[in-house]
C-alpha cells in the first residue's frame, strides 16, 4: 500500500462553491439549471461524505487483506521477492493503461528521478521488510507494527527538520513507545525476527513519506504512484532475472498473487484517492487505521492466529497514537 500540510496527497477536495461557479459559466442564460444543480449539491454534502468514508473503508480493507493473499502465494512456493515482482508488475501494467487512457503527462528531471528512487529504494525496501515479516510473525502483529510510521514521522520531523512538537504529539509518541513494549514483551526467536522486520518496514515507510512530501509536491498523485510502483517492479524484476523467480505452483497461489496486485494494490490505491477527494487527508488518515483491525480480525477468523492480551493492548495504543497524530496535523 502508501501518504502541503493540510492535504499532503495533492488531491483536490470537492468545493461546492467552485462547482457552482463552473456550472454557472457553462449555463449562461439558464438559471433554472443552475438552481437545480445548486439545490442538488447543497442537499448532498452528507451523502458525499458518506461515500468518501466508504471509499476509505474499502481502501483500508483492501490493504488489510494483503497478508492473506501473500499467505496463499507463500503456500504455493512463492518467495517474497517473486511475489512482490508479480504484485508490482501486474499493478504497474494496469495503472499505465489508465494513465495512457487519460493522456496524463509524466514528470521530468529531478522529480522523475526522485519518484524512481522512492519506488526503487523506499517502496521496494518497505515492501520487502513487511512481506518477509509475514513469514515469521502473526499477520495482525505485523500490520499493527506498521502503523508506528506516523509516530516515526513525527519523531524524525522533530529530530531532523527541527519541527516543534506539541503536547498531543508528545503524548502520541509516549503511547506508541508503550505500545511497542507491550507488543514485543513476550516475543522471542523467529517471531522476534518478524517483529523487527515489521518495525524496519515502519521506519523505511516513515522516511519514504518524508521524502515523498517534497518529491511529489505539485505532481498528479496517480502519475507519481504509477512511477513509484513501476520502479519497484523493475527492481524486483532485475533481482528475479539474476537470482531466478519462483512462480506459484498452484491455482490458489496465482489467485493470491493476482489478488495482491488487483485488490491489495490497484483497488486499495484507487479507493484511497477517491476517498481523500471527498473527506480530506486528515480524516482519511484516521479512518485508514481500520487496516490493521481488518488484518487482526481476519487473521483470527481465517488463519487461527491468536494475539496475547499484551499484544492487543499494545496494538490499541499504537493505533490511538496514529489517530491522535492524524488529528494534530
Give me the DSSP letters along 187-200: --HHHHHHHHHHHH
Location of C-alpha cell 519462483: 246
Residue 307 is classified by DSSP as: -
Please, what is the average pLDDT of the chain?
Answer: 82
The per-residue pLDDT for range 107-141, each reduced to its tens digit, is 888 999 999 999 999 999 999 999 999 999 889 88
More confident residue, 269 or 3: 269
Q: Model pTM greater than 0.95?
A: no
Q: Residue 62: pLDDT above 90?
A: yes
* Mean pLDDT score, 306-325: 84
Task: Determine the pLDDT at residue 2.
Answer: 43
Rounded average pLDDT over 251-255: 95
CA-CA distances (angstroms) from residue 210 to 40, 53, 88?
40, 25, 22
The answer for residues whose C-beta is within 8 angstroms of residue 185's C-beta and 6 or more apart is: 310, 314
Average pLDDT of span 71-100:
95
204 has pLDDT over 90: yes
Q: What is the pLDDT of residue 115?
A: 93
* pLDDT tens digits, one per residue of 229-242: 999 999 999 999 99
Which position has the higher pLDDT, 210 or 83? 83
In 10 A of CB 305, how many CB atoms?
Answer: 17
pLDDT band at residue 185 under the 50/70/90 scheme: low
Q: Please give the radius of gyration of the chain, using alpha carbons only, rounded to the nearest integer.
A: 21
Helix residue ranges, H only, 119-188 = 124-133, 139-146, 149-159, 167-184
**Among 14-28, 34-48, 205-219, the least confident range:** 14-28
Mean pLDDT of 270-288: 82
Q: Report the alpha-carbon distance of residue 54 to residue 61 in Å, rounded.
A: 10
Confidence of residue 263 (pLDDT cuts 50, 70, 90): very high
Residue with cell 483500508: 60
Altogether, the residues listed in the chain come to a count of: 329
Task: At 89, list the grid cell.
Answer: 508488475
Q: Is the pLDDT of residue 217 over 50?
A: yes
Q: Residue 271 has which C-alpha cell? A: 479507493
Q: Is 323 or 66 the better-scoring residue by pLDDT?
A: 66
Distance CA 273, CA 279 (A): 10
Between these two residues, 43 and 182, which has the higher pLDDT value? 182
Amino acid at each position: 500500500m502508501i501518504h502541503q500540510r493540510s492535504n499532503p496527497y495533492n488531491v483536490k477536495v470537492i468545493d461546492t462553491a467552485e462547482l457552482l461557479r463552473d456550472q454557472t459559466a457553462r449555463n449562461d442564460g439558464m438559471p433554472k439549471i443552475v438552481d437545480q444543480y445548486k439545490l442538488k449539491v447543497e442537499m448532498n454534502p452528507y451523502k458525499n461524505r458518506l461515500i468518501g468514508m466508504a471509499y476509505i473503508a474499502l481502501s483500508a480493507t483492501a490493504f488489510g487483506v494483503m497478508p492473506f493473499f501473500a499467505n496463499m502465494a507463500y503456500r504455493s512456493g512463492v518467495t517474497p521477492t517473486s511475489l512482490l515482482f508479480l504484485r508490482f508488475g501486474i499493478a504497474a501494467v494496469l495503472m499505465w493503461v489508465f494513465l495512457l487512457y487519460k493522456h496524463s503527462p509524466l514528470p521530468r528531471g529531478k522529480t522523475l528521478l526522485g519518484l524512481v528512487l522512492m519506488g526503487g529504494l523506499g517502496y521496494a525496501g518497505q515492501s520487502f521488510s513487511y512481506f518477509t515479516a509475514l513469514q515469521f510473525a502473526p499477520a495482525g502483529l505485523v500490520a499493527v507494527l506498521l502503523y508506528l510510521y506516523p509516530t516515526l514521522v513525527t519523531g524524525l520531523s522533530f529530530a531532523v527538520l527541527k519541527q516543534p512538537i506539541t503536547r498531543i504529539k508528545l503524548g502520541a509518541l509516549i503511547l506508541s513507545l508503550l505500545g511497542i513494549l507491550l507488543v514485543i514483551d513476550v516475543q522471542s526467536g523467529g517471531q522476534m525476527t518478524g517483529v523487527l522486520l515489521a518495525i524496519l518496514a515502519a521506519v523505511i515507510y516513515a522516511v519514504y513519506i518524508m521524502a515523498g512530501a517534497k518529491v511529489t509536491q505539485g505532481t498528479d498523485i496517480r502519475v507519481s504512484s504509477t512511477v513509484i510502483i513501476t520502479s519497484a517492479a523493475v527492481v524486483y524484476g532485475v533481482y528475479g532475472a539474476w537470482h531466478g523467480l519462483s512462480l506459484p505452483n498452484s491455482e490458489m497461489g496465482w489467485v493470491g498473487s493476482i489478488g495482491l496486485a488487483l485488490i491489495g494494490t490497484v483497488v486499495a490505491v484507487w479507493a484511497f484517492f477517491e476517498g481523500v477527494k471527498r473527506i480530506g487527508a486528515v480524516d482519511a488518515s484516521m479512518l485508514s487505521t481500520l487496516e490493521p483491525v481488518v488484518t487482526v480480525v481476519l487473521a483470527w477468523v481465517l488463519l487461527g492466529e491468536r494475539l496475547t492480551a499484551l499484544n492487543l493492548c499494545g496494538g490499541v495504543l499504537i493505533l490511538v497514537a496514529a489517530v491522535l497524530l492524524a488529528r494534530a496535523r
